[in-house]
Chains A and B, each alone.
Chain A
Amino acid sequence: MNDIRIEPKLKEKLEAFGLADNNLCFNCGNCTAVCGLTERDLTFPRKGIRHLQLGMSEKVNQSVEPWLCYYCGDCSKTCPREANPAEQMMSLRRYLTSVYDWTGLSFKFYTSKLWELGALLFVGAIVLGLFGLYHATSAEPIIWDLRDGYVHLNSFAPVMYVHYADWVMAGILSFFLLSNLFNMYLTIMRSDKSLKIPLHLYFTKIFSIPLHFATQMRFKKCDNKIGFWFMHLFLMSGYGFMFILVLVLLPWFQIDQGINWTTYPGYYATFALLYGSIYCIIGRLRKKDEVHRYTHPSDWIFLIMLFLTTLTGIMVHVFRYYLLMPAATYYTYAIHLAIAVPMLVVEVPFSKWAHLAFRPFAMYFADIKKAALAIKK
């Protein structure tokens, strides 16, 4: 049996991640019992809250449960102590994102607004710098007039260069995200020596990942929260479409003249992103739904970046196709990328957006653990 190490300051540490008064909880178990997602051997939120109260940092780090919560807010609504279990779970997810991140950047971004904004500005500056560098060294001139009756965006941002830059960005992003995922695997699956996990389970349960990634079907199990599930799926589908359009189909998507088959999914994705981000921003301003009641600075930054990315994307489209204004198109395009790229680089591997990978993998790990427990019994 290993010694259990106690980290008395763990609660204080989590305050920067949005944890309010963790001591309010008197461990009645109402939150666990009211939760539609909790299972016999995977109970939450109370257990995680208890581990925080006791400062059991290893248990907290190893826990997969915070990722199983989709934040319906029933626990917070019925909590007899107003201890806000749902937001405690959210704080744990933020904290765990920083635990999995070996670079330490996630910790900095979550605990300091200055760091997160600074990183966004830094990456944004690099993007603008790349535009400057290209035009300083390139022999191809920018076409500032409406030659042939259309805006020559590709003379300002040649699609293949943007396309390659996208791949470089995706490569960097994937490197950090995948290495953090591996770290998550080590933290959750390798540190708990008490449970022997047969290797074959890693293969038989692998379908959990695409399933939960694509459907978020567990969200539906939250009582009376079908609306939130649909909203989340809708927003995510917009993001997914846009991701494919930009990363795979950019040569077809970013053409100078006319429209083609990529335009329609583009419209769908734009609408989904716009609707989703505005819905969440209004929700967080109104604070009516439990899920929107408490907002950490990282939530605001993410939502605002997403909204601005969508807005500038729409503006580029309008300037280019409808108003036929080359200069406005080019500048907005540069700003669009100077927002979208930092958002992706900062948010996906290190901040709020990391949940797109951590959540389905956590469900995968949870399924493996449950199966291993069943075999043990």
Chain B
Amino acid sequence: MTGNNNRGVLFKEHSDYQFIDAKVNSNTLVIGGGIAGIQASLEVANAGYQVYLVEKSGTIGGHMAMFDKTFPTLDCAACILTPKMVEVGQNPNIKLMTLSEVKEVRGAPGNFKVKIEMKTRRVDIATCIGCGICTEKCPARAPSEFDAGISQRKAIYIPFPQAVPNKYLVDKDSCTYFKTGKCRVCEKVCPAGSVKLDDKDSEIEIEVGNIIVATGFKPFDPARAEQFGYGRYKNVLAPLQFERLINASGPTAGQIKMQTQDKKGKWVYSTDGNEPESVAIIHCVGSRDHNYNKHCSRVCCMYSLKFAHLIKEKLPNAEVFEYYIDMRAFGKGYEEFYQRIKEEGVHIIRGRTAKVEEAGNRLKIRSEDILAGKLIEQNVDMVILSAGLEPRENAKNIAGMLDVSSDETGWLTEVNDKSAPFVSNRPGIYLAGTCQGPKDIPDSVAQASAAAAVVLQSIGSGKIKKYVADTTATSL
């Protein structure tokens, strides 16, 4: 293995990369507008180069936008994220394409030709003044994606108040007009004439030199683990639902409430509900489990401890029980956070919960306290299932389209897990965030910046960095 690095110096045999001359297009494509995609886009754009940021949903922000606080510092997630989102929206070097998906990638490293399908918003971003009359008058409702299904939104809506772009969009699936052929109320009431229900999807082709993949993860659907009763019993929550429940902009204005019946008799989370006196948090739901996912999802222990803290903060008299298998507080400040939560009086029990059953108005959970060797049967008011992280359903398709490798689970694989943990096996394509494997916010951000650094290196040198797969490392 010999060759020249970009300064013309013969590189050593143990280097794991080489530079290939290419006419590198200075535009960069970033796929995915979560925290990793946002970070990568800003790094490249701030260096003065054009970025295309393609986001599937109607707003950037990703999962982080749904979080209430971040561990271990308990900073408000939105306070960290939303300024970055605004920056993306305002940066002239970033061409943001929401409701868009990459359909095809052709060409060679340095000169990719990318076909992007842009679904119509049915609202003209340029003229919409954001007055909100359309939403007010819209008769159709659907579960809010942003509130993880614990509140309702209209068919024409802004995903959340800080969305970027902060413009309305029409959800075809829940819209009365698209279901019945009648309605069009939003079009009639719009003072700017911006609602265009008959707009069609479009497709464009762009040319880029490098691609950063930041397509993120999918939360494990706890309904798949039937033994925990999610979707069947009241007050059994998925983690993102609890994030929204405890968030000041959520359906209970941040108060921790149990489900209550609304006027129509439907069970909803609202400020009228009762406060839970006891909450159980069950770790490793869908993770470290051969029936679902073998991997550890890395973040669940910490967000579970965060939940325990937030409950104790808002309801000091509530009893909180954490049922865990192994406590993984591996990051900087995480172990200290764990000890702090213990001191706050949270009951932390080693043992996996096997089932959740309904017991009158309460929930009965059954676990073994491993350290005491005793069986525990306990009634609580609320159960939070700490569901893990999974690759997106279409992760394999994304890998196939980009011609990068992915592992058996579906995580995109890095070319070298030590020296190039954010580089795909295909030159010119880099990985950032949870598309490569479960990780927390600091790691996602660090990886995004690293990917941006290599992209900028490529643009600056006019060369493509080609990593040589590590043949000495044994496969996991």
Using CB atoms and an 8 Å cutoff, list the residues of chain A in contact with chain B.
Answer: 26-34, 38-41, 43, 46-47, 78-82
Name the distance in Å between B49's Cβ and chain A's nearest Cβ.
Answer: 46
Select which of B227, B289, B290, B351 is within 8 A of A29 by beta carbon.
B351
Given contacts A26-B325, A78-B291, contact A41 B374 (CB under 8 A): yes
Within 8 A of A (CB), among B253-309: 284, 288-291
The smallest beta-carbon distance between A241 and chain B, in angstroms, is 38
Bound form: Cα–Cα A81–B284 in Å: 12
User: What total of chain B residues lie within 8 Å of the partner, measured CB to CB?
Assistant: 23
CA distance A33 to B325 in the complex (A): 13
Chain A residues lying within 8 Å of B426, measured Cβ to Cβ, are none
A30 touches B352 (CB 8 A): yes
Quick check: is B368 within 8 A (CB to CB) of the other chain?
A: yes
Are A47 and B375 touching (Cβ within 8 A)? no
- Expressed in whole angstroms, the minimum distance between the Cβ of B227 and any Cβ of chain A is 7
Binary contact track B364-378/A, C-beta < 8 Å → 1, others 0: 001111100111100
Determine whether the beta carbon of A34 is less than 8 Å from that of B355. Answer: yes
A311–B294 CA distance with the chains assembled, in angstroms: 47
Contact of A80 (CB < 8 Å), options: B288, B355, B367: B288
Measured between alpha carbons, how far is A26 from B328 in the docked complex, in Å? 14
Give residues of chain B (357-399) contacting chain A, Cβ–Cβ below 8 Å: 366-370, 373-376
Complex partner residue of A46 from B288, B366, B368, CB under 8 angstroms? B368
**In the assembled complex, B447 has its CB within 8 A of some CB on chain A:** no
A78 in contact with B375 (CB, 8 Å): no
Check B354 for interface membership: any CB of A closer than 8 A: yes
**Interface pair B373/A80, CB less than 8 Å apart:** no
In the complex the two chains form, what is the Cα distance from A32 to B374 in whole Å?
9
Assess whether A46 is in contact with B370, with CB atoms less than 8 Å apart.
yes
Q: Give complex CA distance A272, B350 in Å.
A: 46
**Min C-beta distance of A295 to chain B, whole Å:** 22
List 9 A-B residue pairs with CB atoms under 8 Å apart, sorted by A's residue number.
Answer: A26-B325, A28-B284, A29-B350, A29-B369, A33-B367, A33-B376, A34-B227, A47-B373, A78-B227
CA distance A210 to B387 in the complex (A): 47
B interface residues with partner A (beta carbon < 8 Å):
227, 284, 288-291, 325-326, 350-355, 366-370, 373-376
- Interchain CA distance A353-B290 in the complex, whole Å: 34
Bound CA–CA A39/B375 (angstroms)? 6
Give the Cβ gap from A291 to chain B, nearest Cβ, in Å. 19
Contacts of A34 in B (CB 8 A): 227, 354-355, 366
Give B368's nearest chain A residue, CB to CB: A29
Contacts of A33 in B (CB 8 A): 351-355, 366-368, 375-376
B351 to chain A, nearest CB (A): 4
Q: A26-B325, A29-B367, A82-B290 are in contact. Are A43 and B352 (CB under 8 A)?
A: no
Determine the distance from Cα of A38 to Cα of B368 in the docked complex, in whole angstroms.
10
Contact indicator A27/B289 (Cβ below 8 Å): no
* Alpha-carbon gap, A40 to B373, bound state (A): 9
> Chain B residues with Cβ under 8 A from A27's Cβ?
370
Chain B: CB-nearest residue to A77: B291
Q: Classify the secondary structure of A's interface with B.
A: loop
| Contact residues in A for B369 (Cβ distance below 8 Å) | 29
Q: A34-B354, A78-B227, A80-B284 are in contact. Are A29 and B291 (CB under 8 A)?
A: no
Q: Are B375 and A30 in contact (CB under 8 A)?
A: no
* B227 lies within 8 A of A43 (CB): no
Min CB distance B387 to A, Å, is 14
Among B288, B325, B351, B354, the residue within 8 A (CB) of A78 is B354
Taking A26-B325, A38-B368 as given, write out 15 further A-B residue pairs in contact, using a Cβ cutoff of 8 Å, ordered by the A residue number. Answer: A28-B284, A28-B352, A29-B351, A29-B367, A29-B369, A30-B352, A31-B354, A32-B368, A33-B352, A34-B355, A34-B366, A43-B375, A78-B354, A79-B290, A80-B289
Give the residue name and chain of the A residue nearest to B355 (CB).
A34
- Measured between beta carbons, the chain B residues less than 8 angstroms from A80 are 284, 288-291, 352
Chain A residues with Cβ below 8 Å from B368 are 29-30, 32-33, 38, 43, 46
Question: Would you call B351 and A40 a contact (CB within 8 A)?
Answer: no
Q: Which of chain A's residues have a CB closer than 8 A to the CB of B325?
A: 26, 28
CB distance from A145 to the nearest CB of B (A): 67
Q: CB-CB < 8 A to A43: which residues of B?
A: 368, 373-375
3 A-B pairs closest in CB distance: A29-B368, A33-B354, A80-B289
Q: Which residues of B contact A30 (CB under 8 A)?
A: 352, 354, 368
Contact of B352 among A29, A38, A40, A82 (CB under 8 A): A29
Asked if A38 contacts B375 (CB within 8 A), the reply is: yes
Q: Provide the residues of chain A in CB contact with B366, threshold 8 Å.
A: 33-34
| Cα distance A47–B370 in the bound complex, in angstroms | 9
A82 to B291 Cα, complex, angstroms: 8
Q: How far is the CA of A210 from the CA of B368 in the complex (A)?
A: 31
In this complex, what residue of B is CB-closest to A81? B290
Kindly report which residue of chain A lies nearest to residue B376, judged by CB atoms.
A33
CB–CB B351/A28 < 8 A? yes
A34, B225: Cα distance in complex, Å? 13
Which residues of chain B are near A31, meaning CB under 8 Å? 354
Q: Which residues of A contact B367 (CB under 8 A)?
A: 29, 33
Expressed in whole angstroms, the Cα–Cα distance for A26 and B350 within the complex equals: 12
Chain B neighbourhood of A29, CB < 8 A: 350-352, 354, 367-370
Q: Which residues of A contact B326 (CB under 8 A)?
A: 26
C-alpha gap A31/B368 in the complex (Å): 9
Most buried by B among A26, A30, A31, A41: A30
CB distance from A281 to the nearest CB of B (A): 29
Q: Which residues of B contact A38 (CB under 8 A)?
A: 368, 375
Cα(A80)–Cα(B388), bound, Å = 14
Residue numbers in A under 8 Å from B374 (CB-CB): 40-41, 43
Cα–Cα distance between A27 and B284 once the two chains are bound (Å): 13
Which of chain A's residues has its CB closest to B374's CB? A40
Q: How far is the CB of B376 from chain A (nearest CB, A)?
A: 8
CA distance A63 to B374 in the complex (A): 15
A82 to B290, CA, bound (A): 6
Q: Would you give the shortest CB distance from A306 to chain B, in whole angstroms?
A: 35
- Give Cα distance in the complex from A195 to B366, angstroms: 28
Which partner residue on chain B sits nearest A33 by CB separation?
B354
Interfacial chain A residues near B376, Cβ < 8 Å: 33
Q: A26, A28, A40, A82: which contacts B375 (Cβ < 8 A)?
A: A40
CA gap between A46 and B288 in the complex, in Å:
17
Residues of A within 8 A of B291 (CB): 78, 80
Tell me the smallest distance from the CB of B9 to a CB of chain A, in Å. 50
Whole-angstrom CA separation of A43 from B372 in the bound complex: 11
- B residues in contact with A81, CB < 8 Å: 290
Taking CB as reference atom, which chain B residue is nearest A74? Answer: B354
B-side contacts of A28, CB under 8 Å: 284, 325, 351-352, 370
CA distance A279 to B166 in the complex (A): 66
B354 — which chain A residues lie within 8 A by C-beta? 29-34, 78
Nearest residue in A to B292 (C-beta to C-beta)? A80
Instruction: Out of B284, B290, B350, B375, name the residue touching A32 (CB < 8 Å).
Output: B375
Q: With the chains together, A40 CA to B366 CA distance in Å?
A: 11
Closest chain B residue to A79, Cβ basis? B290
- Return chain B residues, CB-CB under 8 Å to A39: 375
Q: With the chains together, A47 CA to B227 CA distance in Å? A: 22
Bound-state CA distance A67–B352 (Å) is 24
Chain B residues positioned under 8 Å from A26 (CB to CB): 288, 325-326
Beta-carbon nearest neighbor of A29 in chain B: B368
Please measure, in the bound complex, the distance between the C-alpha atom of A34 and the C-alpha atom of B354, giving whole angstroms.
5
A81 to chain B, nearest CB (A): 6
User: For the complex, what is the distance from the CA of A32 to the CA of B375, rounded to whole Å?
Assistant: 7
Alpha-carbon distance between A33 and B356 when the two chains are bound, in angstroms: 11
Most buried by B among A27, A28, A41: A28
Q: Which residue of B lies closest to A223 (CB)?
A: B355
- Closest B residue to A47 by CB, please name it: B373
Taken together as a complex, chains A and B put the C-alpha atoms of A187 and B227 apart, in Å, by 38
Cα separation A43 to B373 with both chains bound (whole Å): 7
